[in-house]
Amino acid sequence: MKALKDRILRDGKHLGNGILKVDGFMNHQIDPVLMKEVGEEFAARFAKTGATRILTAETSGIAPALSAGMAMRIPVVFARKHKPKTMGGEPLRQTAPSHTHGGEVELLVSNEYLEASDKVLIIDDFLSTARTINALVKMVADSGAELVGIGAVIEKSFQGGREAIGKIDVPVESLAVIDSFDGETIVLREDKVAN
């Protein structure tokens, strides 16, 4: 996705240790025009999955998941990191890494919004170690729903996420793949076909 890759090269910043700062357009400030394109690209790539719901995790997954949901016209559920007063019953629970605190956080999804009859598309901002995505994958399994796809805006291929997801029979799509950092230089994977 050219607009995204151009933006990563222009505004992304490698802070060291494989941490990419994309706060200017995705994780603190959002560029809604770019985010709309991101959603449309996900919709195109997952058009054949028959997804009935999108699942993501707060906070940074919400923007790309909502944008994809707008394009696909299906509901978007975001796993919460804290149980709000409004969440009744016994929610689905999984543990995921905290990207702000370090350590771990619990992700919670009310079973009101993931049903066994659902075909679920998981969308998140990053595919890096895949620990958050794998927690969402487990939630889908726990709900009895069917996983039909996994999409990430940016993949950092050198952090082993695809291997960590393991062999699953659904498409795993990322819209920009970073193969490495060379100091401050962001090395993006080139598409096989120009786009």
Binding stretches for a second copy (CB under 8 A)? 15, 19, 21-24, 27-33, 35-36, 58-59, 62-63, 66-67, 69-70, 73-78, 80, 82-87, 99-101, 109-110, 112-113
For residue 13, the minimal CB distance to a second copy (Å) is 8
Residue 115 or 163 with smaller CB distance to a second copy: 115
Residues 6+ positions from 188 with CB-CB distance below 8 Å: 5, 8, 9, 176, 177, 178, 179
For residue 70, the minimal CB distance to a second copy (Å) is 4
For residue 118, the minimal CB distance to a second copy (Å) is 11
Q: How many CA atoms lie within 13 A of 27 on its CB side?
A: 18
For residue 192, the minimal CB distance to a second copy (Å) is 31
For residue 141, the minimal CB distance to a second copy (Å) is 19
Element of type H or E holding 36: helix 32-45
Residue 31 or 146 with smaller CB distance to a second copy: 31
The span from the first CA to the last CA of the chain, in angstroms, equals 7
Nearest to 143 by CA among 83, 62, 55: 55
Residue 32 or 144 with smaller CB distance to a second copy: 32
Phi, psi values for residue 77, rounded to 5°: -110, 130
Phi, psi values for residue 65, rounded to 5°: -70, -45
State the burial class of residue 180 (Cβ atoms within 10 Å of its Cβ: 0-12, 13-18, 19+). middle
Residue 65 or 133 with smaller CB distance to a second copy: 65
Residue 44 or 168 with smaller CB distance to a second copy: 44
Cβ neighbours of 120 (radius 10 Å): 27
